[in-house]
Amino acid sequence: MRSYFDENISKTYANDPLLMRVYTSRLLGKSKDLVLHGGGNTSVKIDDTIYVKGSGWDLSTIKKEGFAPVKTDALLDMAKVEKLSDSQMVMEQKAAMIDKNAPNPSIEAILHAVIPYKYVDHTHADAVVTITNTPDAKEYLRQIYGDSVLIIEYIMPGFPLAKAVYERTKNLDFDQIEGIVLLNHGVFTFDDSAKRSYEKMISLVSKAEDFLQKNAPIEFNDKKNPTVNIDNLANEVSRLRGERVFPKEIATSAAHEFSRLENIREILHKGPLTPEHVIRTKAFAMLWQSDFKEDLENFVKEYKEYFNTYAKDEIMLDPAPRWCVIKNRGVVVFGTNEKENSILSDIISHTMVAILRTQKFASWKSLSKKDIFEMEYWELEQAKLKK
């Protein structure tokens, strides 16, 4: 992975740590192999205030006003309590802001405060997450990084994750590690220098990419998918969703190869590349094997069973698929507009490549259905999607 840090450009931000934060945040956002469509978050601590990426902002285009200024001590106090509900966390973070007109702080704000460095970077790097979505993820990570990263088991983002990291790092000498890897989720790097924190991220991801290139080399040609008429299926999906969808084929050789996997049905039910994606893609995709009406009915039935198994007092979202694998042919996404189709296409394209890589050296093992449900129906994530 290439570093885009430019010493000459960075000199213009030397006396403004927040502008330096904007600069390196945009460098991270420049690569879709690190973050996709609003994913990831960054922060900088200035005096007694932490400026953390605001909810709804994208790292690739973020500006100064995209960072929420929060009292660092207030966030650290939150990390010390035993329990904190989503609504309480949002309320207390908002109360601790020094500019009430700024965007709401990222759900990872407490975790950023817990890490005792000026600059903190968090991405959902494809290479790292691909490796962590395998049964023997910890062993592979030790092969790649040795003891230079702290490995954290998957736990719900927000307060639960911040609390877990706080407890794990109470007596940790942070100078002994280069970063933190969150299984099935992403990676954190940190330093008192924006450049070093950014380049630690590039280094950790590059090592993961080298591992995959050695153990899971993968090449795709320019072969186009066999086409299939999807208009009738799109009409049925529109009916289920309650608004018109515009189907878009992912016409790549990777999509064609993905659709030909023998265990495709099993894989489609094994979880997303990273949990944040589920609010876009739903918990699993539709598989079209023979008659599309029958296969769509099967998807709806499975989705309702999934909801009824894990729901408490939630109200079920529409049961329409967001994407469909057409067996031995390819993949199609169902967005209600061009923007949603672009987001879905990017997420699914990166997911397919990650899964195809794991088939070369291991198998795909993402989150449990219960964990996926908690993310899909999490009130904070739903609020982000609506926004």
pLDDT digits (tens, 9 = 90+) for 216-229: 998 877 665 556 78
Beta bridge partners of 323: 333
Q: Which pLDDT band, with edges at 50, 70 and 90, does 305 fall under?
A: very high
pLDDT digits (tens, 9 = 90+) for 357-368: 999 999 999 999
pLDDT digits (tens, 9 = 90+) for 180-200: 999 999 999 999 999 999 999
Beta 330-335 vs 323-326: how paired, if at all?
antiparallel
Averaged pLDDT score across all residues of the chain: 94
SS3 label, residue 283: coil
Domains of the chain: 7-215 (3.40.225.10), 231-386 (3.40.225.10)
Q: Which pLDDT band, with edges at 50, 70 and 90, does 120 fall under?
A: very high
Instruction: In whole angstroms, give the CA distance from residue 171 to residue 276.
Output: 30
pLDDT at 379: 76
Instruction: In whole angstroms, give the CA distance from residue 354 to residue 137.
Output: 14
Q: Whose structure tokens read 């067996």? A: 327
Angle, helices 86-95/72-80, rounded to nearest 10 degrees = 150
Beta strands in 110-257 (DSSP E): 119-123, 149-152, 179-182, 186-191, 246-250
Q: Which pLDDT band, with edges at 50, 70 and 90, does 283 fall under?
A: very high
163 token code pair:
């609390």
- Average the pLDDT over 191-213 and give the result: 98
Cα Rg, the chain, nearest whole Å? 21
- Average the pLDDT over 323-331 and give the result: 95
